[in-house]
Structure 1
Amino acid sequence: MKLKSIVTACIVAATATTIQAKDYKYESVKGDMMQTRIYTLDNGLKVYMSVNNEKPRIQTYIAVRTGSRNDPAETTGLAHYLEHIMFKGTKKFGTSNYDAEAPYLKQIEELYEVYRKMTDPEERKACYHKIDSISQLAAKYNIPNEYDKLMSSIGASGTNAYTSNDVTCYTENIPSNEMENWAKIQSDRFQNMVIRGFHTELEAVYEEFNISLTKDSRKMWAAMFSKLYPNHPYGTQTTIGTQEHLKNPSIVNIKNYFNRYYVPNNTAICMAGDFDPDKAIAIIDKYFGSWKKSDNLSYPQYAPVPDRTTPTDTTVIGQEAENIVLGWKLDGAGTMQNDTLQLVASMLANGKAGLFDLDVNQKMTCQYASAFTYDLNEYTGFILYGTPNKGQTLDEVKRIMLDEVEKFKRGEFDENLLTSVVNNMKLDEYTSMESNDNRADKFVQAFINGVEWEKEVTKLDRISKMTKKELVDFANRHFRNNYVTVYKRTGEDHTQKKIDKPQITAIPANRDLQSSFVTEIINTKPEPIRPVFLDFDKDLDRYKSKKGIPVYYIRNKENGRFTLSYFFDFGEESDKWLPFAAQYFDYLGTDKLTPEQLKQKFYSLACNFSVNVGTGTMGISLSGLDENMPEAMRLMENVLANAKVDKEAWDKYVQTELKGRRDSKLSQNSNFRALMQYGMYGPYNSLRNVPDSVSLTNRNPQELIDMIAGLTKYEHDIRYYGPTDAKKLLAIINKEHKTPKKLLPKPENREYTEQLTEKNEIWLAPYKAKNINMIQFNNSGRRWNPEREPVASLFNEYFGGGMNTVVFQELRESRALAYSASAYYSTPSRKNHPEWSYTYIISQNDKMMDCINTFNSILDTVPQSEKAFELSKQALEKRIASRRVTKGAIFNAYFQARRLGLDYDINEKIYKALPEIKLADVVRFEQETMARQPRRYLILGDEENLDIKALEKIAPVRRIPTSEIFGY
């Protein structure tokens, strides 16, 4: 790396304060496409910066180099819980009077140290009651969600955080003119965190744990890590923590953890977007420079995990479909070995032309197989994942995957595959540079894994020099009989414990309270960002091919990537066989190329071909490296014209499809999705509108090939985003795109229709779990009116669309009823469809009626706060002002508007109307559209553990079997 120095002149910040001149040195790497600057402040804080001026927004990550690996063994889940607490405020915000609040917080802290050591149930209940009582006293001063109010006030989006084994990371996407406010808020947050609202937030985390109980993948990974990394926290404790530890937390341990690891020399600010780096580093230094570094930073040290010399296995049980995972332990993510691992993984499985892709997935020798790396700081897991066909054992899937690994070890693959993989990795790298989120995430991973940026920048160059022999030798050294196998089998997990609802007294929302810190931020007046709305007459060009096909064109001026689509205004609503024809088509070759050769050919061109079917639209798409577009387009047209039927492939595909249907019935998410579709659209919906098993088995596959091959006989348009100029593109289209002289009119769509809710109804579908999934759906048949869009958008911002809303405060913050909860007033995506509304929640079984009663209360009588409303308006205005629709997304916006009968950008109408909308307008809108409306309660849950009698007081309970919601 080179070290550069910039002398920053006096900079006038948005608040008109002056930042003194200072000499800021930064590191950079020659050839870095992101032109990264890496600063290190005097206190050790790392700052990674990459400028991308496409949109006036900045993606920010604040990454702390600690996670569940460093959790105390007696309070696992601590790092993750601290992540939640970081949203509760500081001495400056989140409270109306910290001095008055502090003694109560201290009492709560001391009581939890007593509570966690108690074993007698009655004593614990009494102690918890005392915690709840004192929490009520502290809550008088608490201002819930003030952090979210702060971020809303500056127009932030993506307010969130995540915790893993090695990292805790806090995310914000902010308007580019709000950097100083962002820095002021974050610096206070990271230096002065206060633990408040503890018992309600703890219950929200526990609800997150409850949700995980039905996710068999969590059990599978925990089992894999326990075998790969025994006697190391990666294997002995999980990020979510244990049920016992979550119910017995220690505020003392959390504070100790925070003070030990949340220090500047263990933290990095990672940012990408539209900013001046010289000004940005001065602002960051102004607010973070006084953060005291730790002179005693250290991490728990563990003996190296010994290499395994023999295979071992374990089994986990759960309701979801069976699968199998194999894993090898290798060196950490920051080592050179990781380069090789990632290349090997792509050689085996890249989704297109790897050994697994062609030998296993293409031939359907099992339902699905893949290979990838699971990167951690100290160790990397090299993972094989497989799911079985009907009647196939997990051991048979295991043998199939291991045979491919052995084939790789023998060097039985074309050397051209290595070249193609490297080229596609380069294309992926170029594509990822278009996203600020991807840029910032690269910084996070480099920092957490201790990777020098020069090493990251030169990674593709190193990989491109690897030889086939080196890869084969590597595989033979490391992939021996030293692996772990986890069998995920279907059954009832009897280890899950009964969960009791705690007695929590709802804490006040205090919506009208506002700290002086929040007032200060709200009243700052940074230089405003002027909104830019789409002008469909200027932002995309329109042409016609020689045969009169409309061609929509947007020039890519950034890189050599393109996307070209033949787009059709019909889909599965016109023919339910279309999705199956498209999926089958992916398994076919031509009269001259086998399916494997065809996949290899596209992959070698760094291009991807697909047929994608939606409900009312579909597309034939090609994307990749633009210099290869003419050849790839020629190949695509050849496939469409000359695809060769393969009856054996069809029969295997049908069996895979039917196995997938059976597997879906085992998944909680799939069941809830099916119930939602059934409850909102009735029996004719996108999940039930499928051929039955007999029809699938007996269908002539040649008819499906003809269906796809015949698509270009129908009216369609062509959409291109790429660097080729329009004249040359039209010449390529005229030469390569084969169509008849006169196109057929599009087939009619029989549209899925939202069903009316004329009375209260309870629809209950069964799923055995510790929690329910529930939606309250209302459709009164109100037709969409674009004039109502501004007030509807502002209502969603105020009431139920995020963390700074009435719903989140009442359901989660005040009552701890759920990990997540929302409500939304939905407007349609196409003409002649109604507006409709819903509430959504996942909650513990015995909290169901509390959820329903709270939702109905706030729906029928909207809690009102002028301050909260003004914040919502300010947030929406700033987000729209800094919003930019660019690149291929312009196509989506244009055609979405056209489907609604609009010829303008609806966001312009919303933005211009916002200043005149009052809270009374929003309340009136809600009262007219949502309050006291009949609702269809769609509940997925275990009836044995639900209060059915209470539900019957609302409406008769209609029990809907699993077979009915799926339709098969």
Structure 2
Amino acid sequence: MNMKSMAAACLMAIVSMAAQAKDYKYESVRGDMMNTRIYTLDNGLKVYLSVNKEKPRIQTYIAVRTGSRNDPAETTGLAHYLEHIMFKGTTSFGTSDAAKEAPLLDSIQNRYEVYRTLTDPEDRRRCYRAIDSLSQVAAQYNIPNEYDKLMSAIGAQGTNAYTGNDVTCYIEDIPSNEVENWAKVQSDRFQNMVVRGFHTELEAVYEEYNIGIANDMSKVWKAMFAKLFPNHPYGTQTTIGTQEHLKNPSIVNIKNYFKKYYVPNNVAICLSGDLDPERTVEVIDRYFGGWKADPNLSFPEYEPVKKLTAPVDTTVIGNEAELLMLAWQLDKAASAQADTVEVLSYLLQNGTAGMFDLDINQNMLCAEAGAFHSFLNEYSMLVLYGRPKEGQTLDEVKTVMLNEIGKLRKGDFDDDLIRSVINNLKLNYYRNIEDNGKRADMYVDAFINNIEWERVVTKFDRMSKFTKKDIIDFANRHFGDNYVAVYKRTGEDGTLRKIDKPQITAIPANRDMQSKFVGDMLNSIPEPIQPRFLDFKTDLSYGKTKKGMPVMYVKNTTNGTFTLCFRYGFGEESDMWLPFAADYLDYLGTSKMTAEQLKKKFYSLACKYNVSVGAGSMNIIVSGLADNMAEALALTEDFLANAKVDTAAYRKYVDVEIKTRKDKKLDQKANFSALYMYGLYGPYNALRNVPGNKALLERNPRELIDMVKDIRNYEHEVYYCGPAEMEEVISAVDKYHKTTKKLMPVPTGKEYTEQQTPRNEILIAPYEAKNIYMRQCHNEGRMWSPDKEVLVSLFNEYYGGGMNSVVFQELRESRALAYNAWANYFTPSRKGHPEFTVTHIISQNDKLLDCINAFNGIIDTIPQSEKAFELAKQALTKRLAAARTTKFGILNAYIKAKNLGIDYDINEKIYNALPSVKLSDVVEFERERMASKPYLYMILGDEKELDIKSLEKIAPIRRVTTDEIFGY
């Protein structure tokens, strides 16, 4: 063919390709600040896209319009368990030989169908042993966590998923240059899912169930839904499922569920970030376009739930503190009611000037009260909750909350509160759309709840037309005596039954096996993203006020919000009363404005102030709508200078604080936090460095107010991020921020000191539950070195981080010991403090020794895999390259570096050092700092359920009481 003919042929080919290229139509809505494009592919797949180029990353959500609402009644918990299985791979990855593996998986599936019909305990044990044995054979082909390997290979982060009543959603945050690789993996995953690694993953779900049964709030929600929706799956089944169904799973039902609901015309792909919409939708169509729709897609239908005409009460029992929850049933999320419900819930509580905020919490009529709304696909709810003060009954709390509903129905609230609520909702919206995850969340909610995007975009237009009469009429129509009341009382729940530990043989981790699919992905080389690290000399500006206070400044060019922070280099280590002085401020006003008037004024400005006290620092922060910065700063400064003592309010505040302390002692997580702090720091720690109850009662509140007034006269720095120019900021600070001419040096304090672990020791604190919380800690007083930070980061990535880490594979995938397990090598946040190692696990009581042995095994002999290490290295490299620190995050990074005694971005040092690090370096790092070292084992559990004799063989046991770990 001559050159002219070749050129003509090429031209014809180009014209032909252009003619065949799809013209992708999309929906958009005028006035949408996110410029959302909504595509619908030929197979019905919805694609929501929005561009946000602040950082070279894309938040991806794949939402399936199904959840526990559609679980078969005989196998509840199925949607949630399928979510777990979706991480196990496909016919292309997760296996070394899908053809040889398939008949073994079929046999396991068939045996489970038999197993679930057996009732005789011995027959069930025999059948399960057969399943366990067969699973060992199938496991020779299983390559655990290849999905996570694929996501690590492309530099993804935040790999996760969740299941609710109406939704199952899969989450990744990916670099912007990896859209095609991400689509390739996800399209295979959603079309060719394989159920493998079933019995070990099922045990992880058991552990998740056991964590849930120890949580009283889970019981409250279950009881509330059961009464609100008695003849609907919202009320008759839970997302986690029943104990009986978890014991008797059906792989057949899972596959049928997947086939029925995981179809493109029931799925939305929601992306937000640094993307090209035209190219992105073309890539999605290329990989997902062949996915076959189900023209007969349908969902189970149920009779409408009857409206309540009288109060319905129910009670749950558990270890934790008493509380009361009230709920009213409302129409679905897509209904015309939704706007009114949202505004109304914020009228009741918005954290600043709502009716609950001012009438109840400000006046401390109970320990705490709140209100919120919850939208579902078929129904919605307005929910109130309240905790009693000491000596107060739950019925008295109910009266307090219902009184506010009565005021709402009578219109007994400020006329301008509705406008303030809408303005603050707008402010929250503006802040939310800065975040790719929150954008994608909005898309998921709209899709799952069948809400037209135009309705989302025009929400504030509709709200702006609301009148006070609209709210009053709505409240009178819907919030009468038609509520459910759930009384959560403290006591022993005799109905709890832990799922017995099955006999599972650990399956091999097969770390060095790799599917061709993964190999091809690792070898793909998209156009790289160039890293951009902070330079503190150029990424922020420096100035000084007239009195010489340093000012650190970053301009916000994306929206009209600001944050202004006065930072002091001392905190509760210098004076343990500072946090209590800050808290007490919340109940005070001045001689000119009451506390209620002050909060209403801040809320009307769409601004707020906050006084936060940490261990070695204290911040006074003013933030909100930038147009109102000067007025908000003036208001804050006037209040801090002229706060008026209210002795009666102080006494109420102390009573609530003492009751809150008492309640914390009943909470499992709070107990574990207290034990961990006690073990890590010893008796002098942040949780125990507090005044006792007697000291609180005897303190003169005037002294606390004087303490706050004096703070501004100590040396401090100013940090600002917002649209104002630096000169405007300095001018406002000079005008309103009054201090003495010469600032005092910051007071010194006794720093919390991490305790070394020279010998093995077991520290046990009591808590009666069906599971244990345990952490192991080793600290030899080694000081931090920035030159070793690359090894720390790589070790944490390889060993204790995500689903591809050593800890996850060994403790969850291989041995099924826990739902929640991790390990981390911690470096300090302040100069002069040591590095230390922590492992963490939550598991059943009878698995404690297995957990200890498994952790010690992988600590003393770290599993080594060159492939896993290279993947960890690649993941960390790509994440650092695509990371961007912006807005106030730049100032926070500066503060963090300063606290460590460095003046540069540590991430740049890590990134530059990564190429030269070898697996042997990480192994040597671990051997030197972790292997065969003494550990402090911190265990929160019920000794009656633990094998104490075996624990005594590991190390001496030291018992601490609940009072000791809390210090009050």
TMscore range, shorter length: over 0.9
2:698 counterpart residue number: 698
- Counterpart mapping for 1:259-278 below 5 A: 259-278=259-278
Structure 1 position 374, deviation (Å): 1.5
1:124 counterpart residue number: 124
Structure 1 position 498, deviation (Å): 4.0
1:112 counterpart residue number: 112
**Which amino acid is the alignment partner of residue 680 of structure 1?**
L
Structure 1 position 803, deviation (Å): 1.0
Pair 11,57 (structure 1): closer, same or farther in 2 beyond 3 Å: farther
1:542 counterpart residue number: 542
1:185 counterpart residue number: 185
- Counterpart mapping for 1:281-320 below 5 A: 281-320=281-320
Task: Work out the CA distance in 2 between the residues paired with 1:538 and 1:498.
Answer: 58
Equivalent position SS for 2:217: helix
2:6 counterpart residue number: none
1:6 counterpart residue number: none
2:615 counterpart residue number: 615
Equivalent position SS for 1:23: coil
Equivalent position SS for 1:24: coil
**Which amino acid is the alignment partner of residue 158 of structure 2?**
G
**Which amino acid is the alignment partner of residue 290 of structure 2?**
S
Task: Work out the CA distance in 1 between the residues paired with 2:667 and 2:102.
Answer: 45
Pair 694,300 (structure 1): closer, same or farther in 2 beyond 3 Å: same
Task: Work out the CA distance in 2 between the residues paired with 1:624 and 1:728.
Answer: 16
Cα pair 2:58 2:272 within 8 Å, conserved: yes
Pair 1:551-2:551 in alignment? yes
2:65 counterpart residue number: 65
1:627 counterpart residue number: 627
RMSD (Å) for aligned C-alpha atoms: 1.3
- The aligned length equals 956
Pair 1:867-2:879 in alignment? no
Task: Work out the CA distance in 1 between the residues paired with 2:179 and 2:888.
Answer: 28
Task: Work out the CA distance in 2 between the residues paired with 1:756 and 1:515.
Answer: 44
Task: Work out the CA distance in 1 between the residues paired with 2:804 and 2:646.
Answer: 55
- Measured against aligned partners, the alpha-carbon deviations of 1:712-766 in whole angstroms (never above 9, x if no partner) come to 0000011111111111221111111101110000011211000010000000111
1:803 counterpart residue number: 803
**Which amino acid is the alignment partner of residue 93 of structure 2?**
F
List structure 1 segments (4+ residues) > 3 angstroms apart after TM superposition: 9-12, 17-20
Structure 1 position 911, deviation (Å): 0.5
Task: Work out the CA distance in 2 between the residues paired with 1:911 and 1:56.
Answer: 17
Pair 1:407-2:407 in alignment? yes
Task: Work out the CA distance in 2 between the residues paired with 1:746 and 1:760.
Answer: 39
Task: Work out the CA distance in 1 between the residues paired with 2:678 and 2:551.
Answer: 38
- Measured against aligned partners, the alpha-carbon deviations of 1:307-359 in whole angstroms (never above 9, x if no partner) come to 11111100000000000000111101111101100110000100100111000
Equivalent position SS for 1:194: coil
Pair 798,137 (structure 1): closer, same or farther in 2 beyond 3 Å: same
2:147 counterpart residue number: 147
**Which amino acid is the alignment partner of residue 820 of structure 1?**
N
2:600 counterpart residue number: 600
Task: Work out the CA distance in 2 between the residues paired with 1:745 and 1:781.
Answer: 30
Task: Work out the CA distance in 1 between the residues paired with 2:345 and 2:535.
Answer: 44
2:351 counterpart residue number: 351
- Measured against aligned partners, the alpha-carbon deviations of 1:487-531 in whole angstroms (never above 9, x if no partner) come to 000000000114321100000000000000000111000000000
Task: Work out the CA distance in 2 between the residues paired with 1:18 and 1:537.
Answer: 49
1:486 counterpart residue number: 486
Cα pair 2:772 2:844 within 8 Å, conserved: yes
- Measured against aligned partners, the alpha-carbon deviations of 1:360-391 in whole angstroms (never above 9, x if no partner) come to 00000001111111211100011111111010
1:224 counterpart residue number: 224
Cα pair 2:206 2:499 within 8 Å, conserved: no
Task: Work out the CA distance in 1 between the residues paired with 2:322 and 2:660.
Answer: 11
- Counterpart mapping for 1:580-729 below 5 A: 580-729=580-729
Structure 1 position 11, deviation (Å): 15
- Counterpart mapping for 1:455-534 below 5 A: 455-534=455-534
1:204 counterpart residue number: 204
Cα pair 2:243 2:499 within 8 Å, conserved: no
Task: Work out the CA distance in 1 between the residues paired with 2:645 and 2:516.
Answer: 71
Task: Work out the CA distance in 1 between the residues paired with 2:77 and 2:20.
Answer: 42
Task: Work out the CA distance in 1 between the residues paired with 2:460 and 2:121.
Answer: 59
Cα pair 2:320 2:667 within 8 Å, conserved: yes
Equivalent position SS for 1:503: coil
Task: Work out the CA distance in 1 between the residues paired with 2:306 and 2:213.
Answer: 31
- Measured against aligned partners, the alpha-carbon deviations of 1:619-647 in whole angstroms (never above 9, x if no partner) come to 11110001111111111110011100000
Structure 1 position 114, deviation (Å): 0.5
Structure 1 position 657, deviation (Å): 0.5
Cα pair 1:10 1:19 within 8 Å, conserved: no
1:947 counterpart residue number: 947
Task: Work out the CA distance in 2 between the residues paired with 1:11 and 1:852.
Answer: 65
Task: Work out the CA distance in 1 between the residues paired with 2:600 and 2:416.
Answer: 9
Equivalent position SS for 1:609: strand
Pair 18,160 (structure 1): closer, same or farther in 2 beyond 3 Å: farther
Cα pair 2:685 2:752 within 8 Å, conserved: yes
Task: Work out the CA distance in 1 between the residues paired with 2:673 and 2:735.
Answer: 44
Cα pair 2:228 2:329 within 8 Å, conserved: yes
1:390 counterpart residue number: 390
TM-score of the two chains, using structure 1 as the length reference: 0.98
Equivalent position SS for 2:381: strand
- Counterpart mapping for 1:320-399 below 5 A: 320-399=320-399
2:760 counterpart residue number: 760
1:889 counterpart residue number: 889
**Which amino acid is the alignment partner of residue 322 of structure 2?**
E
Deviates more, 1:834-843 or 1:729-738: 729-738
Cα pair 2:210 2:498 within 8 Å, conserved: no
**Which amino acid is the alignment partner of residue 830 of structure 1?**
R
1:5 counterpart residue number: none
Percentage identity across paired residues of the two chains: 66
Equivalent position SS for 1:408: helix
Pair 555,11 (structure 1): closer, same or farther in 2 beyond 3 Å: farther
**Which amino acid is the alignment partner of residue 257 of structure 2?**
Y
- Counterpart mapping for 1:739-888 below 5 A: 739-888=739-888
Task: Work out the CA distance in 1 between the residues paired with 2:87 and 2:886.
Answer: 32
Structure 1 position 302, deviation (Å): 0.2
**Which amino acid is the alignment partner of residue 833 of structure 1?**
H
Structure 1 position 10, deviation (Å): 14
1:925 counterpart residue number: 925
Equivalent position SS for 2:887: coil
- Counterpart mapping for 1:420-439 below 5 A: 420-439=420-439
- Measured against aligned partners, the alpha-carbon deviations of 1:460-494 in whole angstroms (never above 9, x if no partner) come to 11111110001100000111111110000000000
Structure 1 position 813, deviation (Å): 0.1
Cα pair 1:499 1:770 within 8 Å, conserved: no
Pair 787,434 (structure 1): closer, same or farther in 2 beyond 3 Å: same
Task: Work out the CA distance in 1 between the residues paired with 2:941 and 2:904.
Answer: 44
Structure 1 position 397, deviation (Å): 0.4
Structure 1, unaligned stretches of length 5 or more?
A: 1-8
Cα pair 2:207 2:843 within 8 Å, conserved: yes
**Which amino acid is the alignment partner of residue 143 of structure 2?**
I
**Which amino acid is the alignment partner of residue 215 of structure 1?**
N
**Which amino acid is the alignment partner of residue 208 of structure 1?**
E
- Measured against aligned partners, the alpha-carbon deviations of 1:402-460 in whole angstroms (never above 9, x if no partner) come to 00000010011111111111110110110111100000000000000000000000001
Task: Work out the CA distance in 1 between the residues paired with 2:143 and 2:360.
Answer: 56
Equivalent position SS for 2:712: helix
Structure 1 position 21, deviation (Å): 2.2
**Which amino acid is the alignment partner of residue 437 of structure 2?**
D
Cα pair 1:19 1:286 within 8 Å, conserved: no
- Measured against aligned partners, the alpha-carbon deviations of 1:690-733 in whole angstroms (never above 9, x if no partner) come to 00011000000010011111110000011111111111221111
Cα pair 1:10 1:18 within 8 Å, conserved: no
Task: Work out the CA distance in 1 between the residues paired with 2:99 and 2:960.
Answer: 55
1:136 counterpart residue number: 136
Pair 18,567 (structure 1): closer, same or farther in 2 beyond 3 Å: farther
**Which amino acid is the alignment partner of residue 604 of structure 1?**
S
Task: Work out the CA distance in 2 between the residues paired with 1:10 and 1:444.
Answer: 43
